[in-house]
Structure 1
Amino acid sequence: MHLQHVASHHIQAIARRYPILRQISPTAILLILFWVYAIHYGERSVSSNHVKSCNWSEWEHWPAGATPHHLVFIADPQLVDPHTYPGRPWPLSALTESYTDQYMARNFRLINEQLDPDSVVFLGDLLDGGREWSTSKARALTAHQRKHLTDLGIKAPGTKRSVETSLSFGQSRTVSSSSLSERDKDSKAFVHGENGRWRKWGPAQWEDEYDRFGRIFLDPRQLYPKSDREAHVAGEVSTHPTSVENGASLVKTEQYAISGGKTRRVITSLPGNHDLGFGPGVQLAVRDRHETRFGEGNRVDVLGNHTFVSIDAPSLAAYSQFESGGGDSTEAQAEERKAIWQPTMSFMGTVQAPVAKSTSDYLDDLFPDRRPDGRTLLQRSDGESTKLSKLTAAVQGQAQLPVILLSHVPLYRDPDTDCGKLRELGKAISIRGGYQYQNALTRSLSTKIAQQISVAGEIVHIFSGDDHDYCDVSHRWNLVTGNGKSRLQNIREVTVKSFSWAMGVRRPGFLLVSLWNPVNDKGEAIGTAAATVQTHLCLLPDQLGIFLTYAQLAGLTLIILLVRAIIVAIRGNSTPDTEDDEPDVPSRLALIRSRSPDKQPISLTNGFSTQNKSLSKSRQRAASTSLSSTPAQDSSHLSVQRSHNARIRSVSPHTPSPSNGLIEKAGLYPQVQWADPSDDEESNVGSVGDYGDGDSQGKWKRRPRKQSVARRAWGEFWRGLGVVGVGAGGWYVFMVRTG
């Protein structure tokens, strides 16, 4: 009891010192605590729980002692921009952009923190409107620059000659004379789509989205959240003289390397139709910009003893696509679009060379003591032209690892092919197309891709994106593998869900892939033949559902506050008004009453006499006022001197009446303070009787009106709502800003 009394005393003291705390009720405190828990769960715990539930050990099944390569596929982040929801007003579109970025950044950081993958591969559509933003206009080449590029085998001196150029992976690409024609030179000029609808957004918009993508997915704090990564200068690269002549600054660019633990490989080069366009809608200037920043769309990578072959499917679709009139593209249409699809087609036609080169380099790194033999890929010096036939012969018999094909656009399947039980919307991917998109490649083009890629090795899996929803199907083709044998193959293709919650699916996700393929120094598998790829779909939180939950909790909070306000108002109305009745502890000193000799009652409150209520109610300001009385006058009249500078003073009655109770009890009462009468009527002068108690002042001063139950309830409701809103809102802002 003593502790309770002390605590209550301290609480009352704090409430008196900070009056605002009197507005905080126990109900408001409980609601604030409830909101703190709900917001923390919605902004932190739910995402962490979803990612943690996908731990590798929960679903992968390999022999004891296996050390698989862990890979994460992320599809269609499609950063929200003005192109995504063109009809939304500015505040709503800005909030959508902010929340989608935060959602992806938080979940990507949790993936790296809790799952710690070895590699991360993006399956295209990195930006939503990348194809719509204009490119910077290139400066014309000088004669010296043209000669330098010709010497490097990049540009022919005339328009009739074909030139072979070497790509970064060792493959050859033949540029036909048509690609050097005036028509294809003009194709480098950017043309705004949708009749110039996005003309006011230019290169700056694309650069801004590129920076956003880097902050979300490529920042070291996102890739390595658990370790302190330090960037250090690994080397310097001077600006090439040809670039300087074309206007570039002569500076030395510092190349940085990040150290501090395991290095995670990230591949972002696979383009999507929202990055480049689709088919004939692909613009060379847009494709060049994308490949300059994100990497070559057609490439080969070796990860986890598997060969990953990526193809630029949006550009390749210009060779064969569904035409509006029905059917596939004709040969004449394909010829007109040759500049778009030819690089990818040439890459697939010579895919053996880059696959063999990448595999050989990978095995050399994996087995440093490995001795080169006759199967080593033929090396070429700069400027040396090697015939395709010789290059193909040089890679015969090379070590071949299992091949995994990556394409942003899914390969063809029969309409209504069941995508499996993990699909969220509908049953199958519809086979159709529209402006700058097509849901699947044509049947003929899909078969051509599978036949040419299988020459480099057996295709064991295909991964794609674009659809935004999950789909798991199996293709059946009669293919010729790298060893020259033809056989019927069933190849599984998984279409990965979108990573963003703004792409039409309530439950975004990503795909976990576990690769285990032990090999010897010749690239031959060790042990029994078995599946080398295992996959698992990991779902992310339903962000829209979280917002709806917040809305429901907000409605419940309003109901609770309203019910409480009504109850408080009803109880307050049934309780006697302490302002009208005599309070337990009076705020004004009430003096005892006595009678004058003429038996007239005299009521003194705060020292004011109210005997004669017929006296004048006006008073006149003056330096001093003297009211004197004759012996014949009533003994209750007092002589009062009032100063202009001191409107409240202590005065003691001086009438020596033996019957006056104040005189009889002198010294037993505290000093009497004269109350200041009617501050708002300073020009009135009254007699002693004017300084009366509430009864006399009630005739000229309005009393506060008692509030109705509804008014009290309304005020109490808004006070409670303000307290809960400030507490919960402040916590929500903190959680959102800290990611």
Structure 2
Amino acid sequence: MKVLKSRLIVNGLRLLWTGLAVWHEHAIFLYSVHKCVWPDSEIQVPIESSPPPAHVLIVADPQILDHRSYPGRAPYLTYISQLLVDLNLRKSWRAALHMRPDVVVFLGDMMDGGRFTMSDDEYEEYFRRFKSIFPLDPRISQYFIPGNHDTGLGVSPQFSEKAAARYTSHFGPLNNRVSIANHTIVLLDAPSIVDAGHVQSVPGGPIEFVQAISNSEDPNPVVLFTHIPLSRPDGSSCGRNRERGTIRRGTGFGYQNTLGKSASDFLLDSLRPSVIFSGDDHDYCEYTHSFSSAGKSRHAREVTVKSFSMAMGIRRPGFQLLSLVPPHSMHGSLSHADSLCLLPDQLGIYLSTYIPLLVLSLIIICIANIHRTCFRQQVKRQYTPASTNSPSYAPLTGALRSRSDTGRPLDDWLQYPSDDDDTGTLPRPTPSASKKSARPIYSRSFVLFGRRRRITIGSDSVTALSGTIFSCCGNENVPKSRGFAAGFLYDVWTVAIYPLAIFAVLSWWMFR
């Protein structure tokens, strides 16, 4: 009975871990995205015959890792971190594509080490890895803006002189302007504005690009995409969707938290954007800029989009959903709306689910094997004579020897004496015990082909059925005589094999 309970515990743990592996490694990503909706209900379509809203999926700072990402970490740990983060990005991206966007915009920092000096072959391999993580149907338009990890910011001997040229040849122009649903989409090279030090026009630079858009007097609303957030007072609230802190001015090696105030005022006055989307900070932030243009007071809402990666210091990665419809003359109507879509807390799954449950499972398996071992020893002591030389134990000793000659494990026989034994050397159950054990669990009579028949299900049948079930589960080869260490390791492997197989299959599917 104790062995049966031990098997039930092991199979229960195996079922639990299998379910958790399916849920946390695949289903939870689909469930998280399933709760997200395009904000179409917040905008007004001009007329019934108008086309449906254009859906833009905005991704910020995927920042795929390489061997330079953690300089103080052992190489094998860096490699494991890279594999886990890549796997998380692949699962998140496959789930995000279920939103079926029309356009995808990446807000910079596509690759963590894209700015560093490296060979052309290494950069090509790095870029291919990015494209394999984020495959996209060619019918879906995609646009990129440079981040400080793509082209560099500031001066350092570690930064490659080819960084900007490599970015342009692989991702597209540093500054770009497109039209979506009668909205002017401005894709800005923010790191170059910071490198300029102040607002000045450099041939082919972002300032000249912005001035050209301003002089064109485009009547369509402007949607500005910039990697670096615009300037705001320190301590400004970021809204309820931020995990911690706020965006403050600051600079460091290869980064600057916000654009300068003069550069930010220049962008607001020149472009008069209806909405701004930025990245770089990794956490969500919502702030409304106030400015004056042509003697009128204006407002522009800026959304700093969450990082798409689990490795950027936030617990819940995410992306932004933007819906656009052609603007119309209805007073007070909105032609654009956006909403946040959160992804699972992958780090929390590892730290708050897998690790505690792993420790608990090991403790349970350990206790189960202690009970099994102690029970086996107790049975041995019960049926083993104190001295085999005593004449009074001669029949029992002979019986044990004859049982061993059958090829059946001795401990197995000691725990489960055969009912058809005819030696008479072991004590048989008392009549009351036999009657109790023989009492049927289910009995019913019926007439079939003119004769009364009866179906009876006894406890022996249930025991045999349980043995068959465990046999199908792969536990039929667990000897009752297995020691504690061997039994513990066997049970750990029995519990781990299915979730590990699920994890391996899902990982292969994501990386293929």
- What TM-score comes out, normalization by structure 1 length? 0.53
Q: 1:430-449 alignment to 2 at 5 Å? A: 430-449=248-267
Select the residue among 94, 99, 102 that pairs with 1:118: 102
Q: 2:321 aligns with which of 499, 512, 520?
A: 512
Separation in structure 1 between the aligned mates of residue 257 and residue 487 of structure 2, nearest angstrom: 57
Q: Structure 2 CA distance, aligned partners of 1:277 and 1:563? A: 56
Relative contact order: is structure 1 or structure 2 higher (C-alpha 8 Å, sep ≥ 6)? 2
Aligned match of 1:55? 37
For 1:317 and 1:729, how far apart are their aligned partners in 2? 48
1:538 aligns with 2:341: yes
- Once the two structures are TM-superposed, the CA of residue 732 in structure 1 deviates from its matched residue by 2.4
**Does residue 1:216 correspond to 2:145, yes or no?**
no
The answer as to whether partners of 2:33 and 2:341 remain within 8 angstroms in 1 is yes
Contact 2:115 2:152 (8 Å CA) reproduced: yes
Give deviations 1:330-371, integer Å, cap 9, x for gaps.
Answer: xxxx88xx86x862222122225xxxxxxxxxxxxxxxxxxx
Partner of 1:403: 222
CA deviations 1:473-519 (Å, max 9, x no partner) are 01111124xxxxx411111000001000001111111001111235x
Which position in structure 2 is the counterpart of 1:267? 143
Post-superposition shift, 1:579? Answer: 7.5
* Partner of residue 376, structure 2: 572
Q: Are 1:82 and 2:64 counterparts?
A: no
What does 1:418-497 align with in structure 2 at a 5 Å threshold? 418-426=237-245, 428-454=246-272, 459-480=273-294, 486-497=295-306
1:583 and 1:121 mapped to 2: Cα distance?
78
Q: Deviations over 1:524-579 (max 9, x none)?
A: x2434412221111111111111121111111110110111111112111113667
- Extract unaligned runs of 5+ from structure 1: 1-21, 135-201, 225-257, 321-328, 353-391, 481-485, 519-524, 590-710
**Tell me, what secondary structure is at the counterpart of 2:73?**
coil
- Separation in 2 of the partners of 1:307 and 1:266? 15
Give 1 or 2: higher helix fraction: 2
2:79 corresponds to which residue?
94
The correspondence of residues 277-288 of structure 1 with structure 2, limited to 5 A, is 277-280=152-155, 285-288=162-165
Q: Partner of 1:105: helix, strand, or coil?
A: helix
Q: CA deviation at 1:131?
A: 0.8
Q: Matched residue of 2:195: which SS?
A: coil
Number of the residue aligned with 2:185: 308
1:726 pairs with 2:497: yes
Per-residue CA distance 1:657-699 (angstroms, 9 max, x = gap): xxxxxxxxxxxxxxxxxxxxxxxxxxxxxxxxxxxxxxxxxxx
Using the size of structure 2 for normalisation, the TM-score is 0.75
Equivalent residue of 1:54, what SS?
coil
AA matched with 1:214: K
- Other structure's SS at 1:463 match: strand
- The alpha-carbon deviation at position 312 of structure 1 amounts to 0.8
Distance change (3 Å), C-alpha of 1:31 and 1:58: farther
Distance 1:558 1:283, change over 3 A: closer
Amino acid across the alignment from 1:515:
L
Secondary structure of 1:33's partner?
Answer: helix
1:715 maps to 486
Q: 1:27 to 1:584 in 2, by over 3 A?
A: farther
Superimposed CA distance per residue, residues 282-325 of structure 1 (whole angstroms, 9 cap, x where no aligned partner): 865321221111111111011122111111110111222xxxxx
* Cα pair 2:305 2:320 within 8 Å, conserved: yes
Q: Which amino acid aligns with 2:153?
A: F
The structure that has the greater radius of gyration is 1
Change (3 A) 1:280 1:531: farther
Summarize the Cα distance change of 1:290–1:45 in structure 2 as closer, same or farther, 3 Å threshold. same
Q: Which position in structure 1 is the counterpart of 2:464? A: none
1:128 Cα offset (Å)? 0.7
* Equivalent residues of 1:133, 1:203 under 8 A apart: no
* Offset, 1:57: 6.7
Structure 1 CA distance for aligned equivalents of residues 128 and 89 of structure 2: 15
| Number of residue pairs matched by the alignment | 414
Amino acid at match of 1:405: L
Question: Does the C-alpha gap of structure 1 residues 449 and 570 become closer, same or farther in structure 2, counting only changes over 3 Å?
Answer: same
**Contact 1:278-1:314 at 8 Å conserved across structures:** yes
2-side partners of 1:350 and 1:725: how far apart?
62
Query: Which AA in structure 2 matches 1:538?
Result: C
Aligned residue for 2:311?
A: 502
CA distance in 2, matches of 1:117, 1:76: 19
Partner SS, residue 274 of structure 2: strand
- Deviation of 1:716 (Å): 2.5
8 Å contact kept, 2:42–2:334: no
Equivalents in 1 of 2:42, 2:113: separation in Å?
Answer: 37
For residues 372 and 324 of structure 2, the distance between their equivalents in structure 1, rounded to whole angstroms, comes to 65
Q: CA RMSD in A?
A: 2.8
2:111 matches 1:127: yes
Distance in 2 (CA, whole Å) between partners of 1:452 and 1:59 is 31
Decide whether the 8 Å contact of 1:316 with 1:342 is kept in 2. no
- The 1-side partners of 2:307 and 2:338 are apart by 16
Shift of 1:26: 3.3
**In 2, distance between residues paired with 1:57 and 1:450?**
25
Are 1:349 and 2:211 counterparts?
yes
| 8 Å CA contact retained: 2:67, 2:75 | no
Counterpart of 1:646 in structure 2 is: none
Match of 1:556? 360
The answer to whether the Cα contact below 8 Å between 1:119 and 1:264 also exists between their aligned partners in 2 is yes
Which sections of structure 2, spanning at least 5 residues, go unmatched? 386-396, 407-481
* Identity level (%): 33
Q: Distance in 1 between matches of 2:258 and 2:265?
A: 12
